[in-house]
Amino acid sequence: MPRLRTLAQNKLTKYNIRRVGEVVGTGLRIVSLFSGSSGNATLVASGRTGVLVDAGVTASRIAASLDALGVEIGRLRGALITHEHIDHIRAVGVLARRYDLPLYANESTWAAIDGLGCAGKIPQRSRVVIETGRDFFIGDLCVSSFPISHDSAAPVGYVIWGEGKQAAVATDMGHMTDEVLCRLRESDAVLLESNHDVDMLKNGRYPAALKRRILSRRGHLSNAAAASSLPGLLAYGVRRVALCHISRDNNTPEAAWQAASDALETAGARIGRDIDVSLTWPDRTGADWTL
């Protein structure tokens, strides 16, 4: 839990001016709770407002993971949905019905969720329709979405500002676009997909059609593609990157990390000295940063 302080105990700065008696946050926290094709969920929280990006494992697993971080699931202010694949929305129906959590998604994604019917009944009051690219506020967090290339209705990544810091989540992308790079840069932390090693995928046991889908421009981002974007992000001030959605079948955490390390070293940068590169996990938290 962040240490709670009031204005009386704080020197006023540009970023922490609050009304007397309100909590002064101690940074923007971003934690990968679960990451991978079995389910994705990320916590982003200021001192006052906590939201999830995706909720792709069961609500009870999310609740337990948050509990271990000292965050009560019932106090979250919303869940931002990237797209309708089950590894991103498994819990959203339960979160809405049991915890009355507002769910944010664009119109096409809502239509796809309803069409699939896999999230169960979602009460009308829990549905918030967002417009891709338009900023909005949840508590003291400012949120913006941006389009990504993936085989779903209208997939997005998110940039979230709070406590004077910026965090971004960009997974499930067939390829990196200039627009995505532009939205990620200047983030203090980026959760970036590093899904597969291309050779492992090509030589692996997946059926040909699935391999084609993953390798396509609307599939998933390879280690090489993720790694090649890192020097550019570093040049624009990104100092923390978490490698996400790492495939269990077509990748290893070591391979993802090595690709990132090689690309940075080629550009004259080193992990640990110039940039923090962290791994994320399908069954436990990773990349727990307070910015």
- Which stretches of the chain bind Zn ion, using CB under 5 A? 85, 87, 172
Cβ nearer to Zn ion, comparing 41 with 184:
41
Question: How far apart are CB 61 and Zn ion at their closest, in Å?
Answer: 16
Cβ nearer to Zn ion, comparing 87 with 163:
87
For β-strands 78-80 and 103-106, DSSP reports them as parallel
Q: Would you call 254 exposed, middle or buried from its count of C-beta atoms within 10 A (0-12, 13-18, 19+)?
A: exposed
Question: How far apart are CB 52 and Zn ion at their closest, in Å?
Answer: 15
- Give CA–CA dist 243/114, Å, rounded: 30
Cβ nearer to Zn ion, comparing 109 with 285:
109
Cβ nearer to Zn ion, comparing 163 with 172:
172
Q: Give the CB-nearest residue to Zn ion.
A: 85
- Give CA–CA dist 83/105, Å, rounded: 8
Q: Are 5 and 24 in contact (CB under 8 A)?
A: yes
The DSSP secondary structure of 168-236, one letter per residue, reads EEE-S-SS--HHHHHHHTT-SEEEEE--B-HHHHHHSSS-HHHHHHHHSTTS--BHHHHHHHHHHHHHT
Question: How far apart are CB 156 and Zn ion at their closest, in Å?
Answer: 12
Cβ nearer to Zn ion, comparing 156 with 259:
156
Question: How far apart are CB 83 and Zn ion at their closest, in Å?
Answer: 6
Question: How far apart are CB 230 and Zn ion at their closest, in Å?
Answer: 21
